[in-house]
Structure 1
Amino acid sequence: MGKEIKQSEFEESDYSIFRERLTDCLTALEKVVDSPGFGRCETTVGAELEMFLMTDDGRPTALNEQVRRTVADDRVALEVDQFNLEVNLRPVPLRGRPFTAMRSETEELLSAVAAAAGAHGAAPVMIGTLPTLTRSDLGRPFLTADRRFRVLDHTLTRLRATPYALVLPDDEHSTLIADSIAVQGANCSWQVHLLVRPDEFTRVYNAAQLAIAPVLAAAGNSSLPMGRGGWQEARIPMYEQGFGESGAGDPAGSRGRVAFGDGWLKGGAVQLFADAVHRHEVLLPVLSEQHPAHPLAPGEFPRLDELSLHQGTVWTWNRPVYDPSGHLRVEFRALPSGPTPADMTANSAFLLGLTLHLAARPEDLDAALPFEAVRENFYRAARLGLGAQLHWPGESRASPEQSPAPDLIRALLPAALDGLVSAGVDVAEAEESLGVIEDRVSTGQTGAVWQRRALNAYERHDDHESALRRLVLAYSELSVTRRPVHTWPVPAREKNR
């Protein structure tokens, strides 16, 4: 969805031709993934970081275009609402010290964004969902004035009646009346990309589906949707409802535009792209100047622009990415933004290491655990965080074992270490990154837990809205220290000054 959209009006013929192009793209993709040289690249990892912009009183501020112009770095991009920004890290080899490199570049970009935002009286904050957001912040007037968001908003409105009631994942199950995709501005994530060889794609993707739940349980950072207590990762159901067709965790929603999936993968990346084509309406029928069957020079691969654009409007939590430079990637979309670069790179290390370890197991994962249990894990982890009970492969597929998330995570950390070291990551680098996860689980303090504890402390002597603002400001100050969240002190329950 980062592609520039130059059209805003479409005829039915545009949709018809685009659908034909999608079929041609799938045919071309089947040939490409089997062609010599495709995907035979060094394994790399990259990431995208979404963030909020806030004022000095902790409220969201609609300044993303001004901040982007001031920072003047092509790694910084606009996001869906005017108080959102995204930064894109350069991919690095998954060997040596990749997480140190990712953390350093993240800190560099954050410093640049902070300086640019400061010139406009704002500051960036990395958090899954900003507690001080209100219903009025998530309407169409706050949608970023970029053609691709406006066109996407218009085309989705064609398919889904608006306004509609979005059930908030808070303790009261309150509703938000949504009129556009601007509701997605409530969600900020840390999206990790892993380059995967075509012949290994099925195993790696299935491993990612199993691995994400225990990692998400340890990574929660979105526990105050619209300022009210809710899921540990409230982004998950909010995002599914905002772009999808049904509620989070609903089996009927497994075919929604945002979904976890409805079964173990059997047919590699081609199957996932084909599912996206066959299951979902075209939203942006922008035709490429290069036909999928365009003659290519030796060693060149087709762009498949229509397929990539369509896939960019299907937001599965683990998503395939085709890159015409000659490779496939898995995009891990479920991790939240923040609290610090150290936390996010530790989450990445745990997720990548565990995924690679599981993918290297001799048995197929579909023989080890029913997919229904894997999907249930995902939503349990999002809802309950470290309080979840998670299924994991045991001796019997018919009755998989269940473990408290902290116990399971501790048991899986050696597996993640093995996956990283086997990929070529320095042992000390892997141990340092995974040590953050171990310490977080030992203290029981994720970002989500810290937010709830801080709110409880501030509400002893503040009204709810004042407590939320103090929480966000304290969170921002602690995030700037770069110390991982398990070390953060909970605010004292002092009287309001």
Structure 2
Amino acid sequence: MGEEIRSREFTRADHTRYRQAVRRCLDTLEAMLEAGSFDEHEWRTGLEIELNLVDADLRPHFGNAEILQRIDDPLYQTELGLFTIELNVEPRQMDGASLVHFEESLRENLNRARDRAREAGADIVMIGILPTLWPPAEGRAWLTDSARYRALDDAVMGSRREDIVLDIGGPEPLQMTMDSIAAEAACTSTQLHLQVSPAMFAHYWNAAEAIAGPQLALGANSPFLFGHQLLAETRTEVFLQSTDIRPPELRNQGVRPLVHFGDRWVTSIFDLFEENVRYFPTLLPQTSDEDPAEVFAAGGTPSLAELRLHNGTIYRWNRPIYDVQDGSPHLRVENRVLPAGPTVVDTMANAAFFFGVVSELAQDERPIWTRMSFDAARENFEAGARDGIDARLYWPKVGEVPADELILRRLLPMAARGLERLGIPAPIADRYLDILEARARLGRNGASWQAATVRALEGRGMRRPEALRTMLAEYTQGMQANEPVHTWPIP
């Protein structure tokens, strides 16, 4: 959920103090990078999954506080929506059987949480956007009771000075007006964390940007919102528009949105944090008592609280992370591209693809970002979100080709080499990559299965709301069985 804050009421003086504190944090981060103060260990990985809560009719269950109390596990936290929660999987070294251990731990944890949720008449679903979600009432009826979320809503709506207009294309375009950021709560994601050394951070971040489009093509799982079939991964556009602090005039001037793919390849993690401070306004100007420069000069490890809080309100699809563990500072790439679901094994296959391809690209003697424009990476991202597995993507020496061709001929072999580099045994790597190969060959991911199933049900005479609920029931059964989505039948 991000760090909680003490208050939702801020003054002009608060903003002035915060601006000064963020600049001091940024200067201290630069000094720490120059001094080589960071943990140099690489390839500790973590995972976060945002989850939907549903009732017995598979409609949203607006009771995350009770469900979290029943689960009683600090790895679970609230999310923006009253019908969503987040699971944080403990980080571990990427080697050997780590992917299998990740999968086993995740399945065991989710099964236990689902048992606790059922005691309250609810269930847990991993899906990018809940298909049975309908537009919210006016105000904050959807939002979790949290000072952070109320302050974010105040800041976004106050910056816009007008309502949010969702305008999303696709087979059944959607236009609607909202008086809060509530639509953001519809978006649930899988977030992959990768700890890297400062010297290699830019290589891994650039590699993550380069494969964001293929990630979406393979893993899209959010085709429906409020009864409309929209993009293969509608979540990306909903997230952008529902948090957009820019009125139309600033959008027309090219001012950056909070949900940001990026503008260029980078040479250091400092580039990204400096951009965050230079280009993005403060939303939550809460200051701490720490003077980071004094802490660092005294031999301590500063928390850089203001810089971290600011970074948490800028929703890059690949976010730079500064964190402190056991008194030691480290850096991570947080990959936020993927939706939640459809199954644990699909999630781990998506993770294997990301880790493998990024590992291989980051070590390439002639890096992808020297052979591919940043605009091409952004266009791939947009195509992957819009068209999913049917997207056409650009790749150096290949040109623009169907996503399945790029994935099968180039990226899956690259992922296999990267996983081997990381010490993942071939039988384990093959288990996950074979899932993605079948997904690409059959042209079926979560989004295409959802859309095809709803079409089939409507072809048998069901109206859209019932078709969506029936599809979600079938989806939930497949999720529980942990059979890859490409094997699911169309009813």
- Secondary structure at 2:259 match in 1: coil
Cross-structure match for 1:66:
66
> Judging changes above 3 Å, is the alpha-carbon distance between structure 1 residues 194 and 263 closer, same or farther for their aligned structure 2 residues?
same
Aligned runs of 1:387-398 on 2, under 5 Å? 387-394=390-397
> Judging changes above 3 Å, is the alpha-carbon distance between structure 1 residues 253 and 109 closer, same or farther for their aligned structure 2 residues?
farther
Using the TM superposition, give the Cα deviation of residue 138 of structure 1 relative to its aligned residue in structure 2, in angstroms.
Answer: 8.1
1:365 aligns with 2:364: no
Cross-structure match for 1:403:
401
Cross-structure match for 1:385:
388
> Judging changes above 3 Å, is the alpha-carbon distance between structure 1 residues 309 and 202 closer, same or farther for their aligned structure 2 residues?
same
Aligned letter for 1:63? Answer: G
Aligned letter for 2:174? Answer: S
Cross-structure match for 2:132:
132
Looking at structure 2, the residues matched to 269 and 169 of structure 1 have their Cα atoms a distance apart, in angstroms, of 34
- Secondary structure at 1:385 match in 2: helix
Using the TM superposition, give the Cα deviation of residue 319 of structure 1 relative to its aligned residue in structure 2, in angstroms.
Answer: 0.6
Cross-structure match for 2:332:
329
Map Cα deviations across residues 40-86 of structure 1 (whole Å, 9 max, x no partner).
12421111100111111111110101100111000000000100111
- Secondary structure at 1:140 match in 2: coil
Preserved contact between residue 215 and residue 337 of structure 2 (Cα < 8 Å): no
Aligned runs of 1:184-263 on 2, under 5 Å? 184-245=184-245, 255-263=256-264
Preserved contact between residue 240 and residue 246 of structure 1 (Cα < 8 Å): no
Aligned letter for 1:275? Answer: E
Aligned letter for 1:134? Answer: W
CA RMSD of aligned residues (A): 1.8
Using the TM superposition, give the Cα deviation of residue 295 of structure 1 relative to its aligned residue in structure 2, in angstroms.
Answer: 2.7
Using the TM superposition, give the Cα deviation of residue 151 of structure 1 relative to its aligned residue in structure 2, in angstroms.
Answer: 1.4
Cross-structure match for 2:294:
294
Aligned letter for 1:425? Answer: I
- Secondary structure at 1:222 match in 2: coil
- Secondary structure at 2:48 match in 1: strand
1:19 aligns with 2:19: yes
Map Cα deviations across residues 367-402 of structure 1 (whole Å, 9 max, x no partner).
2011111110000011111111100011xxxxx711
Preserved contact between residue 207 and residue 358 of structure 1 (Cα < 8 Å): yes
Looking at structure 2, the residues matched to 96 and 318 of structure 1 have their Cα atoms a distance apart, in angstroms, of 26
Mean Cα deviation higher: 171-180 or 477-486:
171-180
Cross-structure match for 2:441:
442
Map Cα deviations across residues 181-232 of structure 1 (whole Å, 9 max, x no partner).
2111111100000001100111111111111211210111011122221211
> Judging changes above 3 Å, is the alpha-carbon distance between structure 1 residues 352 and 20 closer, same or farther for their aligned structure 2 residues?
same
Cross-structure match for 2:451:
452
The TM-score, its normalising length taken from structure 2, stands at: 0.95
Preserved contact between residue 165 and residue 241 of structure 2 (Cα < 8 Å): no
Cross-structure match for 2:349:
346
Using the TM superposition, give the Cα deviation of residue 139 of structure 1 relative to its aligned residue in structure 2, in angstroms.
Answer: 4.9
- Secondary structure at 1:73 match in 2: coil
Looking at structure 1, the residues matched to 138 and 388 of structure 2 have their Cα atoms a distance apart, in angstroms, of 26
> Judging changes above 3 Å, is the alpha-carbon distance between structure 1 residues 76 and 251 closer, same or farther for their aligned structure 2 residues?
farther
Structure (1/2) with the larger strand percentage: 2
Looking at structure 2, the residues matched to 302 and 424 of structure 1 have their Cα atoms a distance apart, in angstroms, of 34
Using the TM superposition, give the Cα deviation of residue 255 of structure 1 relative to its aligned residue in structure 2, in angstroms.
Answer: 1.8
Cross-structure match for 2:96:
96
Looking at structure 1, the residues matched to 121 and 253 of structure 2 have their Cα atoms a distance apart, in angstroms, of 45
Preserved contact between residue 162 and residue 178 of structure 1 (Cα < 8 Å): no
Using the TM superposition, give the Cα deviation of residue 254 of structure 1 relative to its aligned residue in structure 2, in angstroms.
Answer: 7.3
Using the TM superposition, give the Cα deviation of residue 253 of structure 1 relative to its aligned residue in structure 2, in angstroms.
Answer: 5.9
- Secondary structure at 1:77 match in 2: strand
- Secondary structure at 1:192 match in 2: strand
> Judging changes above 3 Å, is the alpha-carbon distance between structure 1 residues 454 and 254 closer, same or farther for their aligned structure 2 residues?
farther
Mean Cα deviation higher: 480-489 or 174-183:
174-183
> Judging changes above 3 Å, is the alpha-carbon distance between structure 1 residues 138 and 440 closer, same or farther for their aligned structure 2 residues?
farther
Using the TM superposition, give the Cα deviation of residue 296 of structure 1 relative to its aligned residue in structure 2, in angstroms.
Answer: 4.6
Using the TM superposition, give the Cα deviation of residue 143 of structure 1 relative to its aligned residue in structure 2, in angstroms.
Answer: 0.6
Aligned letter for 2:412? Answer: L
- Secondary structure at 1:295 match in 2: helix
Aligned letter for 1:55? Answer: D
Pairs aligned (count):
483
Looking at structure 1, the residues matched to 424 and 297 of structure 2 have their Cα atoms a distance apart, in angstroms, of 36
Looking at structure 1, the residues matched to 378 and 124 of structure 2 have their Cα atoms a distance apart, in angstroms, of 33
> Judging changes above 3 Å, is the alpha-carbon distance between structure 1 residues 113 and 237 closer, same or farther for their aligned structure 2 residues?
same
Using the TM superposition, give the Cα deviation of residue 299 of structure 1 relative to its aligned residue in structure 2, in angstroms.
Answer: 6.5
Looking at structure 1, the residues matched to 386 and 438 of structure 2 have their Cα atoms a distance apart, in angstroms, of 21
Preserved contact between residue 94 and residue 423 of structure 1 (Cα < 8 Å): yes
